[in-house]
Amino acid sequence: MNILFIFHSPIIPQNGGVERVTSLLGTELKRRGHNIYYLATRSFNPSQRLDTNQLVIDCTNGFERASKTYLELLTKYKIEIVISQEATKQSINLLRITPSPIKKISVFHIQPFPYAGKERIIKKNSHPTDLARKCYRLFSILFPQIFHYRSLMQGRRVFNEMYAVSDRIVLLSNQFVARLRKYMPNIPRSCLSAINNPNTFDYSNNSDLSKEKTIIFVGRLDEPQKNVLGFIKMWKLLSRDLPDWKAIIIGDGSVRNLCEKYVKEKQIKNLTFVGKQSDVCKFYKRASFVCLTSHFEGWGMVLTEGMSLGCIPVCFDSYESCHDIIEDGVDGIIAKAFSCTDMASRIKEIAVNPTLFTTMSNKAKNKIRNFDISIIATEWETLLTDV
């Protein structure tokens, strides 16, 4: 098959999670005999050298011209299936003009309706700096039902647009399918599929790992999704009971200064910010736990990345697909949603018991095989044949 992936930027694995997943999947499908192309819908840094299968059209500077180029590319490369990796205006418009018999698939890489049921806690945990956003935050906390209605309307608009232009919508978990159907009963179940993300790390050499008394957070330091302060508050509690352990925050973003200020004001010990790292592997190899404290996620790739190198994964029960990754109490920890006390308590229980830690770490390493690209790519090939 001739397959075209659409994303807003070129598929460069180092740039982000969707890029890593798309690159890995595309490479495996190519190995199986498919012809793979990638299309970026926005202009990019011209200093970046791209492979010949990486195509670019700028949909932000006049769609009429871009649409003509897009249709020419479909013909030139004899594209049979288009897979959009995001629900942006540009990608939806391209799917809308994609002619039959080309099949169109939209992948949604985040929890559907991520704010639903969490409106108040998310706004309480946000820290806007300008007056307008501060007022909106206060309004949302006082009247969460209005924020709930607004976020539902936005989500329904996006999914209605995706449904109108797609032969299939792919979510990252079957449990996300149930969540979507709860808020969008008009979308037939037959139009929805669920395929997990593949593990993007090599786990073939994970038998000899030297683990330290270290807990890590890996990700963008931003709001409202990542809830970095949730990790810091959890560590504040845990560090009192584990004074010989340390925590490391790996990543950068808009709330880093806020977080560093909080750590200094609260005099939180043994916590280090190391910024964005080109080699995250070295941290996973040494860490005992990898924590995800997000308000919502699509998959939580840092969990599977850490598991592949023997970290015990820890997250809040804030998004359904975490149960696809972790069997709570067996190969990881799913703490009560947004309870820093529960997360700290459960980590401590394992940290002070070397035998329990080793058992759970080994089970996490074994579990990661469920998300091998060979398995995920086969599920994709089945979908590509059936759609």
pLDDT at 211: 93
Per-residue pLDDT, 61: 83
Which pLDDT belongs to residue 256?
96
Is residue 130 over pLDDT 80?
no
pLDDT at position 312 is 98
What's the pLDDT score for residue 151? 87
**Cis (ω within 30 of 0) for the bond into 13?**
no
Residue range 106-116, pLDDT digits in tens? 999 999 999 99
Among the listed residues 290, 316, 293, 321, the one whose alpha carbon sits nearest the alpha carbon of residue 303: 290
Distance CA 168, CA 278 (A): 35
Sign, CA dihedral 312-317-321-327, equals positive
Contact 77, 4 (CB under 8 A): yes
pLDDT exceeds cutoff 90 at 172: yes
pLDDT (tens digit per residue) in 178-234:
999 999 999 999 999 999 999 998 776 666 678 999 999 999 999 889 999 999 999
**Strands, DSSP E only, in 187-288?**
192-194, 214-218, 246-250, 271-275
**For residues 384 and 375, what is the distance between their CA atoms, to the nearest angstrom?**
15
- Decide: 37 and 30 in contact? Cβ < 8 Å: no
Residues 6+ apart with CB under 8 A from 317: 334, 335, 336, 337
pLDDT of residue 160: 97
E strand or H helix at 82? strand 81-84
- Look at residue 45 in the predicted model and tell me its pLDDT: 67
Domains and CATH numbers, the chain: 2-116+123-137+150-198+372-386 (3.40.50.2000), 214-370 (3.40.50.2000)
Question: Residue 136 pLDDT > 70, yes or no?
Answer: yes
Q: Is the pLDDT of residue 253 over 80?
A: yes
Instruction: Give yes or no for residue 28 having a pLDDT over 90.
Output: yes
Nearest to 312 by CA among 277, 356, 272: 356
pLDDT band at 380 (very low <50, low <70, confident <90, very high): very high
**SS3 of residue 137 by DSSP:** helix
pLDDT surpassing 80 at residue 59: yes
Look up residue 20 and give its two tokens. Answer: 């890593």
Give the mean pLDDT of the chain.
93
